[in-house]
Structure 1
Amino acid sequence: MNNAKKVEQLISTLTIEEKVGQLFVLAFAGHDTDYALDLIKNYHVGGFYITDDNAASLTDAKILSKTLQAQASLRPCDAPLLLAVDQEGAWGILTKETDIGPGNLALGKANDLELTESMYQVFAQQMQAIGYNTLLSPCVDVNANPNNPIIGQRSFGEAPALVAKHSIAAIKGVTKTGNLACAKHFPGHGDTAIDSHRSLAQVDKPLEQLLQEDLVPFQQSIDSGVSLIMTAHINYPQIDSEFPATLSKTILTDLLKGQMKFNGLIITDSMNMWAMRKNFHPVQAAIMAIKAGAHLIMLSEEHYENEATPYKQIQQDTINGVILAVKSGELSEECLNETLKHVLCFKYRDLETQWLTEQLDKATCAKIAEHAAEKAIKVLRNSNNLFPLEQRPFYLTFAANPTLYDSLVNSRGIGPNDPHPASEVFTQSLRSQNANFTAISYHEFSDILNAKKQLDKDIPVVLITEDYPLPGEDFYSEEQLNRVKAAHNLFDDKLVVLALRSDYELAHFPDLNTYICTYSSRAASAKALAKSLIYPPN
């Protein structure tokens, strides 16, 4: 008997409650494993969105995944759970024990497809080893809008063809390990100026333009066999004048499944993001998404409401609401069965635990991340030949407001969560790599401006800029921009700007003489930048 027939027979034995639960991928707070096990046993959920909040070490993560899968194996429907993580480079989990490298934008700038493939093999291998079987990556959005507050470093770049090539390489690296890859955010989040964690954004492009731009990486990801695609909570009024992509049958069924021939799993972005929650009731949004063609409903990211909102009740009410919709006929059982059949056939076929290729050793993984960070560094302006500084003394300061660093590691473990900001890693790396660190004078930004008369006018001033793609929050601001301008006005051709971020800020500084960019705010890039400041890059 083939897989589909077996699944059909299984579905015929399941209750509506058991069927509906399988379509949900949920988050849970902290180490509340008892609640997670209850969701498996009594709500029949199909998977979890995992963060550092749930397991802060590789050892704990391995125990957690085994515990959850063991409970799932006891159900009438014993399909493995999707254990999904945002391991994508610019975002990542378990950063103290894994090698996440510099992120997609840096990989795109390095433009070495073998390196991108290897970096994603590292991500997937390290997650597969602890039982996390689904990477919610790569982010295949095209950076069409440099002011996009949430994509930025998470994208491979601005050119659709380049993004597509690196997306294929990333997917190839993931699938080598038996892990699942997920291309996101369909049909493209790169041309927005609004973070969908905050509100409902809009991309006002005709389909013909999207097919030539934003959809190019998605189509090539589909053609290369990507397992999942994540939806975008964004309006595309020229395709669907009424509903955002997550809730649009025109976009998910007609376009993605029909025209683009995607036959994998469609998973929604978190339905707790404000783009959804501020505009649609949770139950109705879940029902609409299933009707539109989504296979999996994800509810994660309670981090900005964890203390104020009864998230458990919201999760349970949403599942129960979909169950009632099926029983009342609002959502047909035929639609439910077809959706579940697709999910279960996929799970029983593709959720493997064995390795599909030879594993990279620990030292090789670390070397790949280091090499990616080093290769991405670009000297964009150096008209005064100040870079590298080698053994010359210099003054060092930072443009970011230090109070913003408190947002880098939030309570849900989503987004940039290195334990220390890139600027701190940079300073520590200078100390460890440069025996002559005493020749480097560190100043608070306000102090260095006020002390200009006391500074040696022949010694360069090194200014660090930073940005982090924080969900629902901003790091780079007008204040940081103004600090760079103020420093440039005071120190002119002696100012060296080192960017632990994208180079999109450079448009504001047409007369700046020295600018070096890492395209990343990750620790690996901070270390590589410190090394390159003292020693010329290869």
Structure 2
Amino acid sequence: MSRSGRTAVSIAAIAALGLALAPPAHARAPHGRGGCDPDAQLAQMTAAEKVGQMVMASTEAGPDGLPTENARRAIQDLKIGSILTYEPATPGIAARYANRMQRWAQDTRLGLPLLVSGDFEFGTTHNVRFGTTPLPNAMGLGAARDPKLAREAAVITAAEARAMGFQWAYTPVSDVNTNPANPIIGVRSFGERTDLVADLVDTQVRAYGRAGVISTPKHFPGHGDTSFDSHLELPTVTYDRATLEKVHLPPFKRAIAAGADSIMTAHVVVKAIDPELPATLSPKVLTGLLRGDMGFKGVIVTDAMDMDAIDKHWGTREATVMAINAGADIVMSTGDYATHAEAVDALADALRDGSLSEKRVDESVRRILALKCKYKVAENRYVDPDKADEFSGNRHSLRRALDMGVAATTLVRNDGGVLPFDPDSDDRTLVAGTVQNQVFASEVADVARGPVDTWESATTDPTDAEIAEAVRRAKSADRILVDTFSAGELPAGQAKLVKALQATGKPVAAIATGLPYDLTSYPDVKAYIATYGTTVRTQRVDLTMHKAAARVVFGEQPGGRLPVTIKGLYPYGHGLHY
């Protein structure tokens, strides 16, 4: 069925989607043998089955888009209990992917179901790239300042996730992004103010729970003030305990109070708690702070253990055992099959030699089994691929996503009334930029009546020769849009590009597609919009935010207010309207 022909679904219907999409009773799998009683299930398990439940494996797809033999081996031979997948291209493929893995799990001795998970920070599009609903990043929702929109974003995400066979979402990001140069969180955070982040985390955790999807606030106890990317090195934060308590912990406290059933750890050394070990490996952080002081009783899952912050310093085997002894319940293994096997073997060996106690293992496995029972995974482990394709990315959800995008888009500056551009004029528009510029230009072309030209540099740091070519192209334009993207400090070439195009004397508006701080590098531009649409590390582009930005440029009323401070220029909460 074509996207335009998909049925619009009300929010009430979306919230009830889990029931609507459940397969008929005869097609449903039974609970794991022994019934959905965690203690009864635990009593039947071997040591190998227990440690397998404590490892989450990422899986790969074959040429047919479905899980490979290595995925089967992970589930049936290693007895893995949960899966993280980035592979499916469409909702239907994702559903078939999940169904196949669940069938493999059902064919094991106990038949326990898998927890199938994804990141889903800006909707299921985060992992299933086509046919789903792209939603604003967290910072966009922070700019929109409307808990109802944050709730609706979670409901749409949960509905699509369940339709595709996912039960577990690694969202909301609960980090307070107090460091503008943070190279890994950025627009993934709701903003720089603790109260804003805490309110929206609370809203989304409750929404996910009501919609039947496990939410996972991350990255405990906070990744918002780091200066290094934990994928590449081990960050350390040096603020005192009072700052931790006042700024970074409240969103997690609110999440726990809202009923969060899972929390993800940060590969960050928090000196105020443990000056030696990152949170993921620290008993002081996970058992002392999170379990003890904060009273969290749910499942603790680590961030990916092959990230360099952990792997370079401790290696998979040692770190896996350290994390579980620290208080984690599930270790996330995002490498290949050999990496998964190493993690499982490390736990099995530690259990045999006594460096990991049976009591500690049983505590974690009981929590994992209880989580599967609470969310009735075994009862609803199979989904209908055709319904997943039909429902995901439906017309109603896409329309609501665009409304959210316009509400998030922030008009930061508009000196002299450069914006809005007239959509009905025959003026020629040049769209110049770097990251995914062609995608933004296509959205501009959908709105503008006049011709739209594009120019894009080869890298994120345009050369002088490239900038000269952009200026030459600008001579035939009547108006110019230049989109910039930064993952921290804006590359010098992008700032020079904006200034050179501004020097042409044509009307110029700059669009920051990632972090909203780009304006500090070209402070004299007369019109500036922040979209929060491109993530810092992966440069994943949110198509909804490109579409929303194009509409704001051509006259739709922007709704966003800055969820961060643009130092020396604009305060938190600033935002203009036409």
TM-score, normalised by the number of residues in structure 2? 0.80
Alignment correspondent of 2:27: none
**Residues 141 and 464 from structure 1, CA distance in 2 versus in 1: closer, same or farther, beyond 3 angstroms?**
same
**Residues 63 and 443 from structure 1, CA distance in 2 versus in 1: closer, same or farther, beyond 3 angstroms?**
closer
Matched, 1:280 2:314: yes
Task: Trace 1:381-396 onto structure 2 (pairs within 5 A).
Answer: 381-390=413-422, 391=425, 393=427, 395-396=429-430
Task: Trace 1:491-530 onto structure 2 (pairs within 5 A).
Answer: 491=504, 494-521=507-534, 522-530=542-550
Counterpart of 2:529, as a letter, is: I
Q: Deviations over 1:161-195 (max 9, x none)?
A: 00111111222222232111000000111111111
Alignment correspondent of 1:412: none
Q: 2:60 aligned to 11, 15, 29, which one?
A: 29
**Residues 338 and 397 from structure 1, CA distance in 2 versus in 1: closer, same or farther, beyond 3 angstroms?**
same
Q: 1:223 aligned to 241, 257, 266, which one?
A: 257
Counterpart of 1:84, as a letter, is: S
Find the residue that maps to 2:529 and give its secondary structure: strand
Alignment correspondent of 2:396: 364
Tell whether the 8 Å contact from 2:467 to 2:497 is kept in structure 1 after alignment.
Answer: no
Find the residue that maps to 1:184 and give its secondary structure: coil
Q: 1:57 aligned to 50, 67, 90, which one?
A: 90
How many residue pairs are counted as aligned between the two chains? Answer: 494
Q: 1:181 aligned to 198, 211, 215, which one?
A: 215
Matched, 1:347 2:372: yes
Alignment correspondent of 1:413: none
Tell whether the 8 Å contact from 1:133 to 1:180 is kept in structure 2 after alignment.
Answer: yes
Q: Deviations over 1:483-530 (max 9, x none)?
A: 334444x34784321222231122233333211121213111111211
CA RMSD of aligned residues (A): 2.7
Tell whether the 8 Å contact from 1:100 to 1:119 is kept in structure 2 after alignment.
Answer: no
Q: 2:484 aligned to 431, 456, 465, which one?
A: 465
Tell whether the 8 Å contact from 1:80 to 1:348 is kept in structure 2 after alignment.
Answer: no
Matched, 1:377 2:383: no
Q: Deviations over 1:18-47 (max 9, x none)?
A: 111110100122234322122121211111
Alignment correspondent of 1:142: 176
Q: Deviations over 1:368-413 (max 9, x none)?
A: 211111111111111111101113735524332xxxx5xxxxxxxx
Alignment correspondent of 2:337: 312
Q: Deviations over 1:279-305 (max 9, x none)?
A: 1121110100000000000011x4xxx
Counterpart of 2:263, as a letter, is: I
* Structure 1 residue 79: Cα displacement: 3.2
Find the residue that maps to 2:229 and give its secondary structure: coil
Q: 1:435 aligned to 429, 449, 455, which one?
A: 449
Counterpart of 1:248, as a letter, is: S
Distance 1:504 1:335 in 2: 46
Q: Deviations over 1:203-227 (max 9, x none)?
A: 1122221111011111111110112
Tell whether the 8 Å contact from 1:106 to 1:373 is kept in structure 2 after alignment.
Answer: yes
Tell whether the 8 Å contact from 1:182 to 1:226 is kept in structure 2 after alignment.
Answer: yes
TM-score, normalised by the number of residues in structure 1? 0.85
Counterpart of 1:112, as a letter, is: D
Counterpart of 1:477, as a letter, is: P
Matched, 1:47 2:82: yes
Tell whether the 8 Å contact from 2:431 to 2:441 is kept in structure 1 after alignment.
Answer: no
**Residues 455 and 121 from structure 1, CA distance in 2 versus in 1: closer, same or farther, beyond 3 angstroms?**
closer
Distance 1:252 1:465 in 2: 39
Distance 1:486 1:370 in 2: 32
Distance 1:382 1:64 in 2: 48
Q: 1:260 aligned to 252, 276, 294, which one?
A: 294
Tell whether the 8 Å contact from 1:119 to 1:173 is kept in structure 2 after alignment.
Answer: no
Q: 1:100 aligned to 110, 134, 147, which one?
A: 134
**Residues 350 and 457 from structure 1, CA distance in 2 versus in 1: closer, same or farther, beyond 3 angstroms?**
closer
Distance 1:34 1:451 in 2: 49
Distance 2:280 2:111 in 1: 28
**Residues 430 and 347 from structure 1, CA distance in 2 versus in 1: closer, same or farther, beyond 3 angstroms?**
same
Find the residue that maps to 2:413 and give its secondary structure: strand
**Residues 478 and 260 from structure 1, CA distance in 2 versus in 1: closer, same or farther, beyond 3 angstroms?**
farther
**Residues 10 and 459 from structure 1, CA distance in 2 versus in 1: closer, same or farther, beyond 3 angstroms?**
closer
**Residues 46 and 460 from structure 1, CA distance in 2 versus in 1: closer, same or farther, beyond 3 angstroms?**
same
Task: Trace 1:13-28 onto structure 2 (pairs within 5 A).
Answer: 13-28=44-59
Counterpart of 2:408, as a letter, is: A
Query: Which is worse superposed, 490-499 or 445-454?
Result: 445-454
Tell whether the 8 Å contact from 2:142 to 2:190 is kept in structure 1 after alignment.
Answer: yes
Distance 1:257 1:320 in 2: 27
Task: Trace 1:235-250 onto structure 2 (pairs within 5 A).
Answer: 235-250=269-284
